[in-house]
Amino acid sequence: MTFDPLMLFHLGAALVCFVLGAVVGSFVNVCIYRLPWQKSILWPGSHCPRCLRPIAARDNLPIVGWIALGGKCRGCGLSISPRYPLIEALVGALFALAYSSFVVYGGYRLLEPAAFLRAGYHAILIVLLVIATFIDYDYYLIPDSVTVTGMVLGLGLGTLFPGVRPEPVGAATALEGLTQGLLGWAVGGGVVWVVRWLGGLVFRREAMGFGDVTLLAMIGSFLGWQAALLTFFLAPFFGLAHVLVRLCRLAAQRLLRRPPTGADREIPFGPYLSLAALTLMLGWPWIWPGWAKRLFQMLGEISGIFS
Cβ closer to Zn ion: 6 or 57? 57
CA pair distance 37, 32, nearest whole angstrom: 10
CA pair distance 267, 247, nearest whole angstrom: 11
Which of 89, 162, 101, 98 lies closest to 125, judged by CA?
98
Q: How many chain residues interact with Zn ion (CB under 5 A)? A: 7
Measured CA to CA in angstroms, residue 267 lies from 37, 140, 153, 202, 273 at distances of 21, 8, 28, 18, 12
Cβ closer to Zn ion: 67 or 247? 67
Angle at 261 between CA 257 and CA 263, to 5 degrees: 145
What's 200-233 look like in SS3?
A: HHHHCCCCCCHHHHHHHHHHHHHHCHHHHHHHHH
CA pair distance 115, 108, nearest whole angstrom: 6
Q: How far is the CB of 85 from Zn ion (least distance, A)?
A: 17
Report 47-76 residues binding Zn ion (CB under 5 A): 48, 50-51, 73, 75-76
Tell me how far apart the terminal alpha carbons of the chain are, to the nearest angstrom. 57
Q: How far is the CB of 51 from Zn ion (least distance, A)?
A: 3
Position 80 contacts Zn ion (CB under 5 A): no
CA pair distance 212, 49, nearest whole angstrom: 31
Q: How far is the CB of 56 from Zn ion (least distance, A)?
A: 12
Cβ closer to Zn ion: 39 or 50? 50
Cβ closer to Zn ion: 80 or 292? 80
Q: How far is the CB of 89 from Zn ion (least distance, A)?
A: 23
Cβ closer to Zn ion: 17 or 80? 80
Q: How far is the CB of 57 from Zn ion (least distance, A)?
A: 17
Stretch that binds Zn ion, among 45-53, 91-99, 123-131, 181-189 (CB under 5 A): 45-53
Q: How far is the CB of 70 from Zn ion (least distance, A)?
A: 13
Cβ closer to Zn ion: 80 or 223? 80
**Which residues of the shown chain bind Zn ion in the complex (CB under 5 A)?**
48, 50-51, 73, 75-76, 78
